Amino acid sequence: MTPRVDNNLKQSYQHLFEHLEQSRQRVQPSFVLQEIGTVKSVSAGIAIVHGLPSAGFEELLRFPGDIYGIAFNIDEQEIGVIMLGDYSQLNAGDEVKRTGRVVDIPVGADLIGRVIDPLGRTLDGKGKLTCKQRMAIERPAPEIMTRSPVTEPLQTGLKVLDALIPIGKGQRELIMGDRQTGKTSIAIDAILNQKDKNVLCVYCAIGQKSASVAKILATLKHHNAFEYTVVMVTEGNDPPGLDYIAPYAATSIGEYFMEQGKDVLIVYDDLTQHARSYRELSLLLRRPPGREAFPGDIFYLHSRLLERSTHLNEAHGGGSMTALPIIETEEQNMSAYIPTNLISITDGQIYLSPSLFSLGILPAVDVGKSVSRVGGKAQRSAYRKVSGALKLAYAQFEELETFARFGARLDASSLQSIEHGQRIRSCLKQAESSPQSVAAQIVILLALTNGLFDSIDLAAMDSAQSAAIEGLTSLPQSIIEKLEQAETIEEHDKHIILDMLSQTLKPFTESTLRTGDKAQFMVEEANG
């Protein structure tokens, strides 16, 4: 090797070592303390972990394979973890790491029209979410001084609810009844009725059958309800941990829009399954069981959830979140543990009767057992005027109908009450997925309270109601606008509407049987 080449090589090495020395001097090593736990055991939906002494309550823990869990039982020696993923691939001895954060979910306008799970993963095949903001699923309820009274109605499109059991924006109205009595249908109809009403909807399906969820999604899509709806789904084969966090995650999504000053309707379908999933997890974590094997904090489980639904005052945006939680009763037992808990938490209940459902009276709402403790203050004056005595008349009819079935002899007045009550029942019936406008409801109720349906055969009631609704087009536009706003109906406008109804219903009026004779005939026919 020549001296020149040797010198060049030395210079290259010298330059390299100088560069390495400068790089070394720039690097300042630091030690980061990281806790790493170990999986002790894994069972159905939970895992026992030890070796994480600084882990906090409800902290999110990371398992191998990007599986996450919630630190739920914090003991001195070990941690009981609720699993949120496929825990079947975990083994004893696997490493567990802390994340330093709680479970959160992406929020934003991009969620509208999407189907997601409680972790924010999409289920509709439309790609990943682009939301930049995230919110914790567990958040404190708004303070008392930030709330406003319920003063605005939330129209469901169902005559029996809007007229007799009204719901206000910011109210929590429980929907309860036995299995397969139409609870979900009422909630879905309420969602469908929010189209073009500036109300965003969140539907949370908790542990539902895939077929049932698919049917609901098809209904929402058919009526273009995805334009203003977010759907959160956990299926029956998902880990119970996802069922547990689902309603809280859905509520955080609703809160995001509420805090922006918007009105939100949220449906929990259903909280019975939510309570059962929580019971399963609690028993696996060896928490002491109480009544019906539910843990002692089951009341707090739902109270901290439903208290987040409210109507904010103007200083905090003026938004609202109306909750429609659904629960399932067994053998019409309203005094069971979970139903009584939720009745005490909510602002009223809509009870669905299996007997009415079996008779084809849909929606099968038992008016006598249903109540709205807040919504009546938000009901518009036009509704109060046309349905003021409707609930009492219907209750009297049901009592008289019971007596008639026992073969009791009734006077003409009682027979007329039965006749009128049968028309009330017929008018309150409504097909699924066909919510009615405010104007249509008021017209029907006005005709009902003024006895215009009493002389029409029961078999022709559906056709008569359709004709009455179609007659709206013949009214002056000013009256139609007043009806849509549900303002107080002036006497002059009332006479115009009643004249229209009289002309429209004239072809349906019976002339063969007098009212009393016809009622007597129906009673005798019912008695065999």
In the DSSP assignment, the letter for residue 436 is -
- CATH top class, domain 106-378: alpha beta
Q: Which of 216-220, 341-345, 413-417, 511-515 has the lowest mean pLDDT?
A: 511-515
- Residue predicted with more confidence, 20 or 293: 293
Q: What is the mean pLDDT of residues 186-193?
A: 97
Rounded-to-integer distance, Cα 82 and Cα 200, Å: 31
Instruction: Report whether pLDDT(528) > 50.
Output: no
Of residues 62, 147, 304, 373, which has the active-site annotation? 373
Residue with tokens 């980061």: 32
Domain boundaries 36-102, corresponding CATH code: 2.40.30.20
How high is the pLDDT of residue 201? 98
Instruction: Output the pLDDT for position 43.
Output: 92
Cβ atoms of 386 and 494 within 8 Å: the answer is no
Residue 320 pairs in a beta bridge with 263, 311
| Mean pLDDT of all residues in 373-401 | 88
Mean pLDDT, rounded, for 347-355: 96
- 394-403 pLDDT, tens per residue? 988 988 888 7
Give the helix, strand, coil percentages of the chain, each rounded to 5.
45, 20, 35
Residues 497 and 443: beta-carbon distance below 8 Å: yes
- Domain boundaries, given as residue ranges, for the chain: 36-102, 106-378, 385-526
Average pLDDT over residues 384-388: 84
Q: Count each helix (H run) and each strand (E run) in the chain, helices first.
A: 17, 16
Q: Could you tell me which of 288, 295, 318, 321 has the C-alpha nearest to residue 307?
A: 321
Any idea which residue has 């790089």 for tokens?
A: 23
What is the pLDDT at residue 515?
45
What CATH number belongs to 385-526? 1.20.150.20
pLDDT of residue 365: 96
Nearest to 65 by CA among 99, 41, 32, 88: 88
**Looking at the whole model, is its pTM more than 0.85?**
yes
Residue 43's CB: how many other CB atoms inside 10 A?
11
Residue 28 vs residue 246, higher pLDDT:
246
Give the residue carrying structure tokens 């001084």: 145
Determine what percent of the chain is predicted with pLDDT higher than 90.
74
| Mean pLDDT, rounded, for 241-270 | 97
pLDDT of residue 143: 96
Q: Are 441 and 163 in contact (CB under 8 A)?
A: yes
CA separation for the pair 259, 106 (Å, rounded): 15
pLDDT at 40 over 90: yes
Q: In this structure, are strands 199-208 and 348-352 parallel, antiparallel, or unpaired?
A: unpaired
pLDDT at 514: 45
Mean confidence (pLDDT) of the chain: 91
Average pLDDT over residues 519-527: 48
Angle (CA) 223 322 311, round 5°:
135
Burial of 478 (0-12, 13-18, 19+ CB in 10 A): exposed
| Pick from 113-117, 144-148, 506-510: least confident | 506-510
Instruction: List the structure tokens of 81.
Output: 């973890």
Q: Is the pLDDT of residue 197 over 70?
A: yes
Taking phi first (over 0 means left), then psi (-120 to 50 degrees means alpha), and beta for anything else, what does residue 53 get?
alpha
Domains 106-378 and 385-526 share a fold: no
Binned at pLDDT 50, 70 and 90, residue 6 comes out as low
Is 373 known to be catalytic? yes
Q: Which amino acid type is present at position 160?
A: V
Lowest mean pLDDT among 80-84, 314-318, 363-367, 513-517: 513-517
Closest CA to 118 of 324, 294, 268, 272: 268
Question: Using an 8 Å Cβ cutoff, are 435 and 156 in contact?
Answer: yes
463's tokens: 């056709």
Q: Which residue has the higher pLDDT, 163 or 512?
A: 163
Q: Write phi, then psi, for 67 (nearest 5 degrees).
A: -100, 135
> Which range scores top for mean pLDDT: 271-285, 376-390, 474-488?
271-285
For residue 407, what pLDDT band results from cuts at 50, 70 and 90?
Answer: low
Return the ∠ at Cα 233 (arms to 227 and 239), rounded to 5°.
165
Q: Is 292 helix (H, G, I), strand (E, B) or coil?
A: helix
- The DSSP bridge partners found for residue 349 are 174, 371
pLDDT in tens, 444-471: 999 999 999 988 988 899 999 999 999 9
Between CA 391 and CA 160 the distance in angstroms is 10
pLDDT band for 521, please (50, 70, 90 cuts).
very low
Give residue 4's pLDDT band: very low, low, confident or very high (50, 70, 90).
Answer: low
- Give the max Cα distance, the chain: 132
